[in-house]
Structures are given as C-alpha cells and as structure tokens.
Amino acid sequence: MLVWTRPRTVAGYRTLESLAGASSEGLLAQHGFGPEGARLLDEALRAAGLEPLRRP
C-alpha cells in the first residue's frame, strides 16, 4: 500500500485520482520523489483502476 508521509501539494497533487496520467518526469523533479516512488505510484494507480504515469 502506498502511504505518503508528506503531501505533494506543492506539485498540485492531493489525491491518487489527481495523479492519474501525470507526467513521471514532472514528479521526478520534485524533491524526495525518485524512481522507486514512481514505480510504487504506478502500482497504486493500476490497482485503483486509474491511468498510470506518463513516461517521456
């Protein structure tokens, strides 16, 4: 289960649904969000039946 310890409100994302189809490149530019976070987020989006992250 994906649990965020810090909200991603700086990037404008507050919910899992708002991250559906987001750019992985944009998220990876955020401090504290790396490749492992992108992989886990993709898994959570798919498990919720949402669109995965867009890859460059």
What pLDDT digit, counting tens, does each position of 20-56 carry? 999 999 888 888 888 998 898 999 999 999 999 999 8
pLDDT of residue 12: 77
How far CA 34 is from CA of 1, 26, 41, 53, 55, in Å, comes to 17, 11, 11, 13, 14
- In this prediction the pTM is 0.77
What does the block give as tokens for 40? 């886990």
What does the block give as tokens for 25? 């490149």
Confidence of residue 6 (pLDDT cuts 50, 70, 90): low
